[in-house]
Structure 1
């Protein structure tokens, strides 16, 4: 049952301490290696497969070796390493910082949001800033927390690192422009596959969290079923749609998707509710994960 203390300790480390220094952050080094391989490989689909296998091997091999350590040492080192591939503290504090800035200065809020999303934030209105913040908070709840923990439960530390490598590859080369279309095809499809179950599971847990928080959980389920597939990604819409329904708001990326119905106006209070909703969703996931580990052979 070493996985339970590793899981709980990793989550605690990330919540209390946050991201490790850049110089020792595995995800930073993943990005550096991906950028290097991108420069030396051709822009063909086979290169994307080679890149994925290479970077996955580099980062899962040490994770496999950690499994041979004695129990106390394994628990500590595995927990520290697992905490580096999840981002609870940074995700929640970044979203909260945008909300705090919006109360004071819209330009500051736009700048802080620009670090979280790929869209142009320079002309966004208050409601558009809030929508984008709630979108990135709820979408990344899967990418940055529940999905890596999901694969840790199934395959241990190597599974968590495999997921983080693929997700980082998708973030860096998984685009449809001429430079990345072929190179990023394989990691982008692999990321879609790996996120299929975690995204849907997290969306359903968000509906359950809405129930416990006395939010509009029925609307959350309705909007999840209706709107989750409206996003370009086959997975990102599940938590965003569930959140839109629970908060009774409409989330929109102009020209790309619209999720939910505008029953209530977006406000900083709605962002705070989204943070509560996401927090309880995470708690429910961890409780569920612990229970699954206990019954696994």
Structure 2
């Protein structure tokens, strides 16, 4: 079945690039509704309650993925179709590129108020007091982090574990976005979702940083600077994973990221990543281009990895 998985991954990456997200009935939206319903039933301001919430949702999603994987193994064609469809649904590369491009357009035109509203589609920051440079910096950081979370990481898990890996990772990452923040309501309840997401992204985030270094010259960036900045600055970031690719993007584009970051419920003084100038609208455009290249390379590598792992299992 390794050939079916490999072909399916390539089909899913292509579908995401050409079609984008499903416009109606998106399964991730359905999962979000189920998670909200479960939260209403299970919420307690405690870690054990959050662990039950996360465990039930992730285990249920993994079970559905296992069923889909087994049913699709009747032949390579059905396996490729199912894998391709799930990959298309799970990946977020096209929507990320669309939002990043729209942000760059607003900033280039000096339309700060529309840019502040649109940034909410990329991250959960308080945009009230952000100027052009603050909006550009937040956009590049969000494009970088989501390149790892929404593109590279699901493809890594797909190469290793197929459809179950894809849907389970997506469930974990979605739960982290929903309840994994550090606000008062979710500080304890969302702890398990946040920690599980850290584990799921630990290896993929570092792969994403390496790919950023390798792909940087394609968009006129610096591979050497990306590598050096990643190795030097990533560990200073409060997130064990987001800092990996944000540092690599800062070096690749030769700009500075980090600094004051306002989430509404809390303000963080992030360490500075990189040594270059402050970000501008052109850097947002280049970050989107870099994200697209990384996504394409990740798709090819994931398909190759799926064929490799599948071959080893057969032997």
Q: What TM-score do you get using the length of structure 2 for normalisation?
A: 0.88
User: Is residue 50–residue 193 contact of structure 2 (8 Å, CA) maintained in 1?
Assistant: yes
Picking from 141, 163, 166, the partner of 2:169 is 163
- The one of the two structures with greater contact order (alpha-carbon pairs below 8 A, sep at least 6) is 2
Taking the aligned partners of 2:87 and 2:252, their CA distance within structure 1 comes to 31
SS in 2 for 1:148: helix
User: Is residue 250–residue 258 contact of structure 1 (8 Å, CA) maintained in 2?
Assistant: no
Structure 1 regions of 5+ residues with no counterpart? none
Are 2:127 and 1:121 equivalent residues in the alignment? yes
Displacement of 1:212: 4.8
Matched with 1:275 is: 288
SS in 2 for 1:232: coil
| Higher deviation after alignment, 252-261 or 277-286 | 252-261
Taking the aligned partners of 1:57 and 1:262, their CA distance within structure 2 comes to 43
Taking the aligned partners of 1:265 and 1:51, their CA distance within structure 2 comes to 41
Displacement of 1:213: 4.6
Picking from 79, 82, 87, the partner of 1:74 is 79
> CA offsets per residue over residues 143-163 of structure 1, 9 Å max, x none?
111111111111110111111
Are 2:251 and 1:250 equivalent residues in the alignment? no
User: Is residue 248–residue 260 contact of structure 1 (8 Å, CA) maintained in 2?
Assistant: no
Matched with 2:264 is: none
**CA root-mean-square deviation:** 1.7
Matched with 1:95 is: 100
Taking the aligned partners of 1:291 and 1:234, their CA distance within structure 2 comes to 27
Displacement of 1:60: 2.4
Matched with 2:234 is: 228
Taking the aligned partners of 1:20 and 1:276, their CA distance within structure 2 comes to 22
| 1:136–1:183 CA distance, 2 compared to 1 (3 A) | same
Taking the aligned partners of 1:268 and 1:262, their CA distance within structure 2 comes to 18
User: Is residue 14–residue 89 contact of structure 1 (8 Å, CA) maintained in 2?
Assistant: yes
Aligned residues, how many? 296
| 1:107–1:212 CA distance, 2 compared to 1 (3 A) | closer
> CA offsets per residue over residues 44-99 of structure 1, 9 Å max, x none?
22222221221123322232222223332332233112211110110011001001
| 1:84–1:33 CA distance, 2 compared to 1 (3 A) | same
| 1:129–1:36 CA distance, 2 compared to 1 (3 A) | same
Matched with 2:305 is: 292
Matched with 1:185 is: 191
Structure 2 regions of 5+ residues with no counterpart? 261-267
SS in 1 for 2:277: coil
| Higher deviation after alignment, 55-64 or 255-264 | 255-264
SS in 1 for 2:258: strand
Matched with 2:277 is: 264
Taking the aligned partners of 1:259 and 1:279, their CA distance within structure 2 comes to 25
Matched with 1:237 is: 243
Matched with 2:265 is: none
Displacement of 1:43: 2.7
User: Is residue 43–residue 182 contact of structure 1 (8 Å, CA) maintained in 2?
Assistant: yes
Taking the aligned partners of 1:137 and 1:82, their CA distance within structure 2 comes to 20
Matched with 1:60 is: 62
Q: What TM-score do you get using the length of structure 1 for normalisation?
A: 0.93
> CA offsets per residue over residues 227-276 of structure 1, 9 Å max, x none?
11222211001111101011111112414314334533422222222222
Displacement of 1:132: 0.6
| 1:232–1:260 CA distance, 2 compared to 1 (3 A) | closer
Matched with 2:21 is: 19
